[in-house]
Structure 1
Amino acid sequence: MDEQEFDAAVQAAIAAIPANISAEMDNVAIFIADDYEPATGEHPDTVLLGLYEGTPLTERDSWWEAGSLPDRITIFRAPILEICHSREEVIHEVTVTVVHEIAHHFGISDARLHELGWG
């Protein structure tokens, strides 16, 4: 799958989020990057399919709106393409990853996402 098709898969996954849920998303931007670069102190072989960075809606208080930068969701192209063997698998994995990271924006933990089958 080329870069343009991958980007389209991410956009389709975002568009598939029900309107009542996407309407509740607040100050979050979604990006696509080639690969995750481990932070200082992280194992150099760390592989992520997606990453949520920000303050979940469940943790925001009145202080949060005072000049806070947008939350950031990044979907990583290379690792998804590495683990998938077909276009259909890529589309499925992109969808799962987008839902997983958006769930973090709503304050849902990894443990709960795994219980729900979105791990």
Structure 2
Amino acid sequence: MIWMSEEEFENVVSDALDLIPGEVSARLKNIALVIEDDPPPGGPVLLGLYEGVPITERSDMWGIGPLPDKITIFRNPILSICETPEEVAEEVAVTVVHEIAHHFGIDDARLHELGWG
């Protein structure tokens, strides 16, 4: 396990977002990315969580002003499985890509096929 301040972790998440290709990030509309220390108690241990309606499930009648989708990155679970800052950066990048993929309607099975499992 590695320790990293909240500010350092936020910088790692920001760096991971910078790795997202421009054509993908340009399609990220009405989505909030937040960092929390831990996932909700009593549930599975999560590194990240996408909450919202994937783009592939939206209709033309989606409406004006829907609540934003939300991607949460969980700091403590990621830090608990990493031993170096480089491992944290890699795990955060994979987690961010994984959750953004869910926003675009890509499920876990397809992510595994693509090597992002």
What band does the TM-score fall into relative to the shorter chain?
A: over 0.9
Taking the TM superposition and a 5 Å limit, the aligned residue runs for 1:72-111 are 72-111=70-109
Q: Deviations over 1:51-75 (max 9, x none)?
A: 0000111111122233310000000
Q: What residue in structure 1 maps to residue 20 of structure 2?
A: 17
Gaps of 5+ in 1: 39-43
TM-score for the superposition, normalised by structure 1: 0.91
Q: Return 29-38 or 74-83, whichever deviates more.
A: 29-38
SS at match of 1:52: strand
Higher relative contact order (CA 8 A, sep 6+): 2
Q: What residue in structure 2 maps to residue 41 of structure 1?
A: none
Gaps of 5+ in 2: none
SS at match of 1:66: coil
Displaced runs of 4 or more, over 2 A? none
The CA distance in 1 between the partners of 2:65 and 2:95, in whole Å, is 28
The CA distance in 2 between the partners of 1:116 and 1:49, in whole Å, is 19
SS at match of 2:34: strand
The CA distance in 2 between the partners of 1:75 and 1:20, in whole Å, is 22
1:56 aligns with 2:54: yes
Q: Residue type matched to 1:35 in 2? A: D
Over aligned residue pairs, what C-alpha RMSD do you find? 1.1
1:69 aligns with 2:67: yes
TM-score for the superposition, normalised by structure 2: 0.92
The CA distance in 2 between the partners of 1:69 and 1:13, in whole Å, is 24
The one of 5, 21, 30 aligned to 2:8: 5
User: What is the deviation of 1:45?
Assistant: 4.9
SS at match of 2:93: helix
